[in-house]
Structure 1
Amino acid sequence: MPDLLNPADPGFARDPYPYYARLRARGPAARVQLANGTHAWLVTGYEQARAVLADARFSNVPPAAAGRPKPDSPAQRARGCLARHMLNSDAPDHVRLRRLTTAAFTPRRVDALRPRIERLADGLVAELSGRLEREGTADLVDAFAFPLPVLVIGEVLGVPEADRADLREWTYRVGSPADALAQGAVDEAWTRLHAYFTTLIGNKRRAPGDDLFSALVHDASEGGLDDGELLAMAFLLLFAGYETTMNLLASASLLLLTHAGEAAAALRGGDAYWDAVTEETLRHASPLEGTTWRRTTERVDLGGGTVIPAEDSVLVVLAAANRDPGHFPSPDDFRPARYLTGAGRPAPHLAFGHGPHFCLGSRLARLEAAVALPRLFGALPGMGLAADPAGLPYRPGLLVRGPRRLPVR
């Protein structure tokens, strides 16, 4: 067990699971030292993760001095503004903020997006096929896993397609440990994001469209969101709307490319097997590695001799909970069949969280995977990896996880 946890370490990013398994063996939660000089409790057991996520004693409101101390600056003020989103709030503010966005993600509205998602996926598969014929190789993340969800959420939210590359770069930076990037890169990204969403919201006020951002701007004039909350909501919905689905599609593709038997079974098995592939990917390669940070509002006894003092930082590690051998037999194996009807009821995975902060976009993410994966592998059955999977770079950090590049031929 290393003395400290460095989320920016490429080796840890590529395979954090042995570390989490050793941590879980120490108890339901363990206090670890982070590379930024702070300490935190990491919750890695399945039952304890569910309990913490549903327990109001674990507040989502960050402490005033969380993380490494930083001087006041325009970037820090921008970060503070954009961090006022609903994942960093408790009831009653969380209930109010969530209510304003729930209508955009009802089953009826999400399911109505299927024809558009099908057209987008077909177009991207055709472009990828053409690129492979012309160039021999392509990056599946850049060519497929990223553009599909960003185009979909862009349409839902009202974000221009031309802005997607810049937004991807900025959100990548703010979701990564600063130590993994060039000096100043994270601060620049927070400043750029704040300026971008300020401009976008101004445009929606002047010329609203049929999209969620326009609706939220309209609601703000009726007391729904103040200007700071509006900026934070715009950032959260964009970041959460594509980042997790991009990692789901990339991780599922990598798993199928390295498990040829499962890819063949999915192509034979139809919709039910593809749904099982999606659920097993969500469990086995959780696109959200951890939740947002929480803090204890009082002393909490988690059982097993683990007592967390008041005002301590806590991170629920979804990726670790989803590989708890007490709830998932052979947790490190990729076995989609465990999610097939009649295969026995596996424990519900925690890839979308649990409790009041359960992911609003879970249905949309599942729909995109259900549409995209069979089209991709059905159209390109001979597609294979063009790099050693053991050397693929992964997204650093403790928030989101997935391969940064996925070369295929």
Structure 2
Amino acid sequence: MLDPADPAFARDPYPYYARLRTQGPAVRVALANGTHAWFVTGYEHVRAVLADSRFSNVPPPGAGRPRPDSPAQRARACLARHMLNSDAPDHTRLRRLTSAAFSPRRVDALRPRIEQLASELIAKAATRTQNGAVVDLVDAFAFPLPVLVIGEVLGVPEADRDDLRKWTYRVGSPADALPAGAVDEAWIRLHAYFTELIADKRRRPGEDLFSALVHDVTEGGLDDGELLAMAFLLLFAGYETTMNLLASASLLLLTHPGELAAARRDATRWTAVVEEALRHASPLEATTWRRTTQEVNLGGSGLIPAGASVLAVLAAANRDPAHFPDPDAFRPDRYRPAAGGTRAAPHAAFGHGPHFCVGARLARLEAAVALPVLFDALPGLQLAEDPGEIPYRPGLLVRGPRRLPVRRA
């Protein structure tokens, strides 16, 4: 039986996934909540599932824990319309509109602002690390930077971004870690805020990506409910993946000082560092749940019945030894082949197929810009806790350190 909330599993799920991989293309797993699901862990089979329309993204009726009706629950329900919970043709339309807003030109134009925001956050952290004080890099850097950047994408006024960060932190935290009612209040405030933001973008559009979505008047443009769902999706997908990438990459570099020194000597290595961090410490442990619309045979013992819950485990695919030699080692050079060498296989950290992460370019850009700023501004940075004791976020969807305490030598 698998308990995704087990701290030991959250810290190191890879041995478990390696055992599953040896048992076949898809393995039926008993979960601690009393349900069962089919886990797909091999690189080729994960990619096959994500490209196969027989694996639906639409949640079945009544999926999830039942919740009483309330303003907070109605705010949560807005997410049900986002494109991760849809199949073609609805997904095709939503994806087309969003991809246009995330064009390379628009994303790349954010580089100077990302560098400025990262520099400001790291300057505050540097002040706090004086005289040996300990700073949590998740709280001071990895979490706030993506929230601030997605604020740029959504065109959130700077005066509102502290509130946005506070509400986002609350809805992403376990309810028992906050005062009673704090999570529900944050959902209600986010719903109200984005409702007003959409109305404001209609009245006074800006140059931000969200204004482009609001004012897309092509056939099949987004209605207000879809815009609200898209705002939530961009907010949470925009910070969750990148937060975990920044935290995990920082931890990997702090525990592999030779790789950090090499990147600081040669700035062209940072791209490879980011790619290897995405592979080695996938910020998305798995995709959202799929459901088979018919019986599917993945080969061998991988016969999945119709109506089954299926999880494509990206973290496991990225450690498949058939495609990544020495898969448990952090080796950025696998993405910097020597002359005549072979580059590593593309990792699956952003998924594959129709639901490949539309924000992948932005996440890569944030990491490639912010990580060198961090380590140039804070030389001598070191962990203030045994890396084996650092807790990880529980669950099967996202993966990253919950805290990353550091100090300067």
TM over 0.5: yes
Residue 8 of structure 2 corresponds to 11
Match of 1:394 among 392, 395, 398: 392
Q: CA deviation at 1:21?
A: 1.2
Matched, 1:364 2:371: no
Matched, 1:118 2:115: yes
Structure-2 change in CA distance of 1:369 and 1:69 (3 Å) = same
Residue 296 of structure 2 corresponds to 300
Task: For residue 353 of structure 1, give the secondary structure of its aligned residue in structure 2.
Answer: coil
- Cα deviations across residues 248-293 of structure 1 (Å, max 9, x unaligned)? 111000001011111112112322x111111110000000111111
Pairwise CA RMSD of aligned residues?
Answer: 2.3
Where in structure 2 are the equivalents of 1:6-405 lying within 5 Å? 6-133=3-130, 136-159=133-156, 160-173=160-173, 190-219=187-216, 224-271=221-268, 273-342=269-338, 343-405=341-403
Question: Partners in 2 of 1:401 and 1:20 — Cα distance?
Answer: 14
Q: CA deviation at 1:73?
A: 4.8
Question: Partners in 1 of 2:75 and 2:168 — Cα distance?
Answer: 18
Q: CA deviation at 1:310?
A: 0.8
Question: Partners in 2 of 1:296 and 1:182 — Cα distance?
Answer: 40
Q: CA deviation at 1:364?
A: 1.2
Any conservation in 2 of the 1:322–1:328 contact (CA below 8 Å)?
Answer: yes
Q: CA deviation at 1:186?
A: 6.2
Question: Partners in 2 of 1:191 and 1:282 — Cα distance?
Answer: 33
Any conservation in 2 of the 1:180–1:396 contact (CA below 8 Å)?
Answer: no
Structure-2 change in CA distance of 1:370 and 1:358 (3 Å) = same
Task: For residue 295 of structure 1, give the secondary structure of its aligned residue in structure 2.
Answer: strand
Percent of aligned pairs with the same amino acid? 76
Task: For residue 28 of structure 2, give the secondary structure of its aligned residue in structure 1.
Answer: strand
Task: For residue 384 of structure 1, give the secondary structure of its aligned residue in structure 2.
Answer: strand
Any conservation in 1 of the 2:139–2:403 contact (CA below 8 Å)?
Answer: yes
Q: CA deviation at 1:328?
A: 0.8
What is the TM-score of this pair, normalised by structure 2? 0.91
Structure-2 change in CA distance of 1:221 and 1:111 (3 Å) = closer
Equivalent residue letter for 1:396: P
Equivalent residue letter for 2:169: E
Task: For residue 41 of structure 1, give the secondary structure of its aligned residue in structure 2.
Answer: strand
Equivalent residue letter for 2:138: V
Any conservation in 1 of the 2:39–2:313 contact (CA below 8 Å)?
Answer: yes
Aligned length: 402
Any conservation in 2 of the 1:286–1:351 contact (CA below 8 Å)?
Answer: yes
Q: CA deviation at 1:135?
A: 6.1
Question: Partners in 2 of 1:296 and 1:181 — Cα distance?
Answer: 37
Question: Partners in 1 of 2:60 and 2:21 — Cα distance?
Answer: 26
Moved more, 54-63 or 150-159: 150-159
Equivalent residue letter for 1:401: R
- Cα deviations across residues 158-194 of structure 1 (Å, max 9, x unaligned)? 1231223323324414xx7x79989877666544543
Structure-2 change in CA distance of 1:333 and 1:180 (3 Å) = farther
What is the TM-score of this pair, normalised by structure 1? 0.91
Question: Partners in 1 of 2:360 and 2:352 — Cα distance?
Answer: 11
Question: Partners in 2 of 1:154 and 1:100 — Cα distance?
Answer: 19
Question: Partners in 1 of 2:228 and 2:85 — Cα distance?
Answer: 14
Question: Partners in 1 of 2:335 and 2:220 — Cα distance?
Answer: 44
Q: CA deviation at 1:103?
A: 2.1
Structure-2 change in CA distance of 1:32 and 1:332 (3 Å) = same
Any conservation in 2 of the 1:137–1:386 contact (CA below 8 Å)?
Answer: yes
Equivalent residue letter for 2:59: P
Task: For residue 27 of structure 2, give the secondary structure of its aligned residue in structure 1.
Answer: strand
Q: CA deviation at 1:78?
A: 3.1
Question: Partners in 2 of 1:24 and 1:184 — Cα distance?
Answer: 42
Q: CA deviation at 1:90?
A: 0.8
Moved more, 227-236 or 314-323: 227-236
Question: Partners in 2 of 1:221 and 1:57 — Cα distance?
Answer: 30
Question: Partners in 1 of 2:180 and 2:10 — Cα distance?
Answer: 20
